[in-house]
Amino acid sequence: MKREKGITLITLVITIIILLILAGVSIATLTGQNGLLAKANTARTETKKANAEEQVKIAVAGSFNDEGKLTADKVKEELRKIPNVGDIRDTDGGFPIEVDLDGYTFIIDENGKVIRKTVKPLVNYTLSTKEQVAEGTQIMVMITATIGEEETITKITKPDGTSVVNTDTTNFSVTTNGIYTVIVEGSNGETTTKKITITNIGTTEIFSDIYTSTQTYTDSNNRVAKIPEGFAVGISNTINKIENGLVITDAIDENHRSTGNEFVWIPVENSTNFKRRLGYEDGSLQSEKKFSDMSEPYKNGLKDEKDLYTAMYNSVVNTDNKGFYFRSI
Protein backbone atom coordinates (compact mmCIF):
# COMPACT_ATOMS: atom_id res chain seq x y z
CA MET A 1 0.00 0.00 0.00
CA LYS A 2 1.44 3.41 -1.01
CA ARG A 3 1.74 5.97 1.85
CA GLU A 4 0.62 9.56 1.09
CA LYS A 5 3.13 12.33 1.82
CA GLY A 6 2.18 15.41 3.86
CA ILE A 7 3.40 17.82 6.55
CA THR A 8 3.40 16.98 10.20
CA LEU A 9 1.68 19.08 12.88
CA ILE A 10 5.06 20.14 14.26
CA THR A 11 6.18 21.37 10.86
CA LEU A 12 2.95 23.35 10.49
CA VAL A 13 3.35 24.99 13.90
CA ILE A 14 6.97 25.94 13.16
CA THR A 15 5.94 27.42 9.83
CA ILE A 16 3.19 29.48 11.47
CA ILE A 17 5.62 30.73 14.13
CA ILE A 18 8.13 31.79 11.48
CA LEU A 19 5.41 33.60 9.54
CA LEU A 20 4.26 35.40 12.69
CA ILE A 21 7.82 36.49 13.46
CA LEU A 22 8.25 37.80 9.93
CA ALA A 23 4.91 39.57 10.13
CA GLY A 24 5.90 41.16 13.44
CA VAL A 25 9.20 42.36 12.03
CA SER A 26 7.43 43.76 8.98
CA ILE A 27 4.83 45.59 11.09
CA ALA A 28 7.53 47.02 13.35
CA THR A 29 9.51 48.11 10.34
CA LEU A 30 6.47 49.85 8.93
CA THR A 31 4.83 51.35 12.02
CA GLY A 32 7.57 51.78 14.65
CA GLN A 33 8.79 55.17 15.84
CA ASN A 34 11.59 54.93 13.31
CA GLY A 35 9.61 52.81 10.89
CA LEU A 36 9.08 53.32 7.20
CA LEU A 37 5.71 55.03 7.65
CA ALA A 38 7.12 57.45 10.23
CA LYS A 39 10.08 58.21 7.98
CA ALA A 40 7.75 58.69 5.04
CA ASN A 41 5.64 61.15 7.04
CA THR A 42 8.76 63.00 8.15
CA ALA A 43 10.03 63.18 4.59
CA ARG A 44 6.65 64.44 3.36
CA THR A 45 6.59 67.12 6.08
CA GLU A 46 10.14 68.23 5.34
CA THR A 47 9.37 68.39 1.63
CA LYS A 48 6.26 70.48 2.26
CA LYS A 49 8.22 72.80 4.52
CA ALA A 50 11.08 73.14 2.01
CA ASN A 51 8.68 73.85 -0.86
CA ALA A 52 6.91 76.57 1.10
CA GLU A 53 10.18 78.19 2.10
CA GLU A 54 11.46 78.03 -1.48
CA GLN A 55 8.36 79.82 -2.79
CA VAL A 56 8.86 82.62 -0.28
CA LYS A 57 12.54 82.94 -1.18
CA ILE A 58 11.70 83.12 -4.90
CA ALA A 59 9.17 85.89 -4.20
CA VAL A 60 11.76 87.83 -2.17
CA ALA A 61 14.43 87.35 -4.85
CA GLY A 62 12.04 88.88 -7.39
CA SER A 63 11.53 91.92 -5.16
CA PHE A 64 15.01 93.46 -5.42
CA ASN A 65 15.21 96.57 -7.57
CA ASP A 66 18.02 97.44 -10.01
CA GLU A 67 20.07 98.83 -7.15
CA GLY A 68 19.79 95.59 -5.21
CA LYS A 69 17.51 97.04 -2.57
CA LEU A 70 14.21 95.87 -1.11
CA THR A 71 11.05 97.72 -0.22
CA ALA A 72 8.35 96.25 1.97
CA ASP A 73 5.64 97.12 -0.54
CA LYS A 74 7.41 95.29 -3.37
CA VAL A 75 8.01 92.20 -1.19
CA LYS A 76 4.33 92.08 -0.22
CA GLU A 77 3.35 92.49 -3.87
CA GLU A 78 5.46 89.49 -4.88
CA LEU A 79 4.28 87.40 -1.93
CA ARG A 80 0.65 87.88 -2.97
CA LYS A 81 1.44 86.13 -6.26
CA ILE A 82 2.16 82.84 -4.45
CA PRO A 83 -0.78 80.42 -4.87
CA ASN A 84 -2.76 79.87 -1.64
CA VAL A 85 -0.63 82.33 0.30
CA GLY A 86 -2.07 83.21 3.72
CA ASP A 87 -1.82 86.37 5.81
CA ILE A 88 0.97 88.87 5.13
CA ARG A 89 1.90 91.13 8.06
CA ASP A 90 4.40 93.99 8.08
CA THR A 91 5.81 96.01 10.97
CA ASP A 92 4.58 99.61 10.88
CA GLY A 93 4.60 99.45 7.09
CA GLY A 94 8.13 98.06 6.91
CA PHE A 95 10.29 95.10 7.91
CA PRO A 96 10.25 92.49 9.27
CA ILE A 97 7.40 90.96 7.26
CA GLU A 98 5.63 87.75 8.29
CA VAL A 99 3.85 85.53 5.77
CA ASP A 100 1.78 82.37 6.32
CA LEU A 101 2.04 79.61 3.73
CA ASP A 102 0.98 75.94 3.87
CA GLY A 103 0.73 76.01 7.66
CA TYR A 104 4.12 77.64 8.23
CA THR A 105 5.07 81.21 9.13
CA PHE A 106 8.14 82.83 7.55
CA ILE A 107 9.89 86.03 8.60
CA ILE A 108 11.60 88.28 6.04
CA ASP A 109 14.06 90.94 7.20
CA GLU A 110 15.18 94.13 5.43
CA ASN A 111 18.07 92.28 3.79
CA GLY A 112 15.80 89.64 2.25
CA LYS A 113 16.76 86.87 4.67
CA VAL A 114 13.97 84.30 5.10
CA ILE A 115 13.66 82.23 8.26
CA ARG A 116 10.90 79.93 9.41
CA LYS A 117 9.23 81.06 12.61
CA THR A 118 9.43 78.32 15.20
CA VAL A 119 6.52 77.39 17.43
CA LYS A 120 6.92 77.66 21.18
CA PRO A 121 5.12 75.25 23.54
CA LEU A 122 1.77 76.49 24.83
CA VAL A 123 1.21 75.76 28.53
CA ASN A 124 -2.16 75.67 30.30
CA TYR A 125 -3.04 74.68 33.84
CA THR A 126 -6.07 73.96 36.01
CA LEU A 127 -6.41 73.84 39.79
CA SER A 128 -8.20 71.15 41.75
CA THR A 129 -10.13 74.02 43.35
CA LYS A 130 -10.35 77.78 42.90
CA GLU A 131 -12.25 78.23 46.14
CA GLN A 132 -10.55 79.88 49.10
CA VAL A 133 -9.20 77.12 51.37
CA ALA A 134 -7.52 77.00 54.75
CA GLU A 135 -3.78 77.49 55.24
CA GLY A 136 -1.89 74.29 54.51
CA THR A 137 -4.61 72.73 52.33
CA GLN A 138 -3.19 70.79 49.39
CA ILE A 139 -4.16 71.95 45.91
CA MET A 140 -3.30 69.94 42.79
CA VAL A 141 -2.04 71.82 39.74
CA MET A 142 -2.63 69.97 36.45
CA ILE A 143 -0.34 70.97 33.55
CA THR A 144 -1.17 70.46 29.87
CA ALA A 145 1.29 71.46 27.13
CA THR A 146 0.79 71.60 23.36
CA ILE A 147 2.95 72.51 20.38
CA GLY A 148 2.67 72.56 16.58
CA GLU A 149 1.63 69.47 14.64
CA GLU A 150 5.19 68.70 13.57
CA GLU A 151 6.67 68.83 17.06
CA THR A 152 6.25 67.06 20.39
CA ILE A 153 6.70 67.99 24.04
CA THR A 154 9.97 66.45 25.19
CA LYS A 155 10.30 67.64 28.79
CA ILE A 156 8.31 69.34 31.56
CA THR A 157 10.22 70.60 34.60
CA LYS A 158 8.15 71.13 37.75
CA PRO A 159 8.70 73.83 40.40
CA ASP A 160 10.68 71.43 42.63
CA GLY A 161 13.15 70.75 39.81
CA THR A 162 11.95 67.24 38.94
CA SER A 163 11.11 66.49 35.30
CA VAL A 164 8.94 64.22 33.18
CA VAL A 165 9.92 63.43 29.59
CA ASN A 166 8.04 62.64 26.37
CA THR A 167 4.65 63.52 27.80
CA ASP A 168 2.43 66.59 27.45
CA THR A 169 0.74 66.35 30.86
CA THR A 170 1.86 66.28 34.47
CA ASN A 171 0.81 67.62 37.87
CA PHE A 172 2.20 68.82 41.18
CA SER A 173 0.74 69.84 44.53
CA VAL A 174 1.13 73.01 46.61
CA THR A 175 0.11 73.84 50.17
CA THR A 176 0.87 77.56 50.31
CA ASN A 177 0.33 80.63 48.18
CA GLY A 178 3.11 81.55 45.80
CA ILE A 179 4.26 81.92 42.21
CA TYR A 180 5.42 78.54 40.89
CA THR A 181 7.52 78.10 37.74
CA VAL A 182 7.03 75.32 35.17
CA ILE A 183 9.41 74.96 32.19
CA VAL A 184 8.26 73.11 29.05
CA GLU A 185 10.60 72.07 26.21
CA GLY A 186 9.63 71.09 22.66
CA SER A 187 11.34 68.80 20.18
CA ASN A 188 12.27 71.88 18.12
CA GLY A 189 14.40 73.20 20.98
CA GLU A 190 11.93 75.93 21.91
CA THR A 191 11.21 76.48 25.62
CA THR A 192 8.28 78.12 27.43
CA THR A 193 8.47 79.23 31.06
CA LYS A 194 5.08 79.41 32.73
CA LYS A 195 4.58 81.20 36.05
CA ILE A 196 1.56 79.89 37.95
CA THR A 197 0.11 82.16 40.63
CA ILE A 198 -1.68 80.56 43.60
CA THR A 199 -3.51 82.96 45.94
CA ASN A 200 -6.40 80.94 47.37
CA ILE A 201 -4.64 79.07 50.21
CA GLY A 202 -5.04 80.79 53.56
CA THR A 203 -3.88 84.39 54.02
CA THR A 204 -0.21 84.25 53.01
CA GLU A 205 0.47 87.26 50.79
CA ILE A 206 2.60 87.07 47.64
CA PHE A 207 4.38 89.72 45.63
CA SER A 208 5.55 90.53 42.10
CA ASP A 209 9.14 90.35 40.91
CA ILE A 210 11.53 92.90 42.39
CA TYR A 211 11.44 95.98 40.16
CA THR A 212 14.78 96.99 38.64
CA SER A 213 13.56 100.55 38.04
CA THR A 214 10.82 102.75 39.43
CA GLN A 215 7.46 101.84 37.89
CA THR A 216 3.99 103.37 37.82
CA TYR A 217 1.46 100.92 39.25
CA THR A 218 -2.23 101.04 38.31
CA ASP A 219 -4.61 98.90 40.34
CA SER A 220 -7.89 97.34 39.16
CA ASN A 221 -9.72 100.56 40.14
CA ASN A 222 -7.38 102.64 37.94
CA ARG A 223 -5.73 104.32 40.92
CA VAL A 224 -2.02 105.04 40.60
CA ALA A 225 1.03 104.71 42.83
CA LYS A 226 4.78 104.48 42.30
CA ILE A 227 6.67 101.25 42.94
CA PRO A 228 10.27 102.26 43.71
CA GLU A 229 13.30 100.46 42.33
CA GLY A 230 14.32 97.49 44.46
CA PHE A 231 10.79 96.70 45.66
CA ALA A 232 8.05 94.20 44.76
CA VAL A 233 4.35 95.03 44.90
CA GLY A 234 1.66 92.82 46.44
CA ILE A 235 -0.50 90.87 44.00
CA SER A 236 -2.85 89.15 46.46
CA ASN A 237 -6.36 90.60 46.39
CA THR A 238 -6.06 91.91 49.95
CA ILE A 239 -2.96 94.04 49.31
CA ASN A 240 -3.04 94.95 45.61
CA LYS A 241 -5.53 97.83 45.76
CA ILE A 242 -4.57 101.34 46.76
CA GLU A 243 -7.79 102.05 48.66
CA ASN A 244 -7.24 98.95 50.83
CA GLY A 245 -3.57 99.69 51.48
CA LEU A 246 -1.16 98.75 48.68
CA VAL A 247 1.82 96.86 50.13
CA ILE A 248 5.39 96.65 48.83
CA THR A 249 8.43 94.75 50.13
CA ASP A 250 12.17 94.95 49.55
CA ALA A 251 12.83 91.17 49.60
CA ILE A 252 11.00 88.00 48.47
CA ASP A 253 11.72 84.27 48.55
CA GLU A 254 11.68 81.83 45.61
CA ASN A 255 7.88 81.63 45.74
CA HIS A 256 7.44 85.42 45.97
CA ARG A 257 6.55 85.60 49.65
CA SER A 258 7.86 88.66 51.50
CA THR A 259 11.03 88.21 53.55
CA GLY A 260 11.98 91.88 53.90
CA ASN A 261 10.74 95.27 55.06
CA GLU A 262 7.13 95.98 54.07
CA PHE A 263 5.58 99.37 53.42
CA VAL A 264 1.94 100.46 52.95
CA TRP A 265 0.95 103.13 50.43
CA ILE A 266 -0.98 105.99 52.04
CA PRO A 267 -2.87 108.05 49.42
CA VAL A 268 -2.66 111.84 49.90
CA GLU A 269 -4.56 114.22 47.68
CA ASN A 270 -2.24 117.16 48.41
CA SER A 271 1.12 116.02 49.74
CA THR A 272 2.33 119.57 50.43
CA ASN A 273 -0.15 119.78 53.31
CA PHE A 274 1.45 116.86 55.12
CA LYS A 275 4.68 116.90 57.09
CA ARG A 276 7.04 114.20 58.26
CA ARG A 277 7.66 114.24 62.00
CA LEU A 278 10.23 111.93 63.50
CA GLY A 279 8.94 112.59 66.99
CA TYR A 280 9.93 114.35 70.17
CA GLU A 281 13.06 113.87 72.23
CA ASP A 282 13.74 115.70 75.49
CA GLY A 283 10.57 117.71 74.96
CA SER A 284 11.47 119.14 71.54
CA LEU A 285 10.55 118.20 67.97
CA GLN A 286 13.56 116.54 66.35
CA SER A 287 12.74 116.88 62.65
CA GLU A 288 10.04 118.07 60.30
CA LYS A 289 9.83 117.65 56.52
CA LYS A 290 7.13 117.95 53.91
CA PHE A 291 6.35 114.67 52.16
CA SER A 292 6.85 116.43 48.83
CA ASP A 293 10.51 116.98 49.78
CA MET A 294 11.09 113.23 50.18
CA SER A 295 12.29 111.74 46.92
CA GLU A 296 14.29 108.59 47.69
CA PRO A 297 13.01 105.16 48.79
CA TYR A 298 13.66 104.12 52.36
CA LYS A 299 15.60 100.93 51.62
CA ASN A 300 17.82 100.15 54.56
CA GLY A 301 15.34 99.13 57.24
CA LEU A 302 15.33 100.86 60.61
CA LYS A 303 18.26 103.15 61.28
CA ASP A 304 17.21 103.79 64.85
CA GLU A 305 14.10 103.81 66.97
CA LYS A 306 13.07 107.29 65.84
CA ASP A 307 12.70 106.06 62.25
CA LEU A 308 10.20 103.37 63.24
CA TYR A 309 7.20 105.22 61.81
CA THR A 310 8.98 107.18 59.09
CA ALA A 311 7.38 107.48 55.67
CA MET A 312 9.84 106.49 52.95
CA TYR A 313 8.68 107.52 49.47
CA ASN A 314 6.75 110.31 47.81
CA SER A 315 4.63 109.29 44.82
CA VAL A 316 4.24 110.91 41.44
CA VAL A 317 4.51 114.66 42.03
CA ASN A 318 2.38 115.69 39.05
CA THR A 319 -0.61 113.34 39.34
CA ASP A 320 -3.87 113.39 41.24
CA ASN A 321 -2.97 110.23 43.16
CA LYS A 322 -0.24 111.43 45.49
CA GLY A 323 0.79 109.58 48.60
CA PHE A 324 3.62 108.06 50.55
CA TYR A 325 4.75 104.69 51.89
CA PHE A 326 4.62 103.95 55.58
CA ARG A 327 6.67 101.15 57.09
CA SER A 328 4.46 98.39 58.50
CA ILE A 329 5.60 96.63 61.69
Beta bridge mates, 189 = none
- pLDDT score of 92: 86
**All domains in the chain, ordered by first residue:** 37-116 (no CATH), 122-198 (2.60.40), 215-327 (no CATH)
Beta bridge mates, 40 = none
The distance from CA 80 to its chain's CA centroid, rounded to whole angstroms, is: 34
- DSSP class of 131: S
Ranges of the chain whose pLDDT falls below 70: 1-7, 24-38, 41-42, 149, 267-329
206-233 in b/e form (b: 16+ CB < 10 A) is: bbbebbeeeeebebeeebbbbbbebbbb
- pLDDT score of 302: 35
- pLDDT score of 322: 54
Q: Convert the pLDDT of each residue in 71-109 to its tens digit.
A: 999 999 999 999 988 889 988 888 999 998 887 789 999
- pLDDT score of 182: 96
- pLDDT score of 114: 93
Q: CA-CA distance, 70 to 119, in Å (whole number)?
A: 27
- pLDDT score of 35: 59
- pLDDT score of 328: 54
- Written in H, E and C, the secondary structure of 247-313 is EEECCECCCCCECCCEEEEEEECCHHHCEEECCEECCEECCEEEHHHCCCCCCCCCCCHHHCCCEEE
In the chain, what's the furthest Cα-to-Cα distance? Answer: 140
Q: Is the peptide bond before 228 cis (omega within 30 degrees of 0)?
A: no
Q: CA-CA distance, 311 to 278, in Å (whole number)?
A: 9
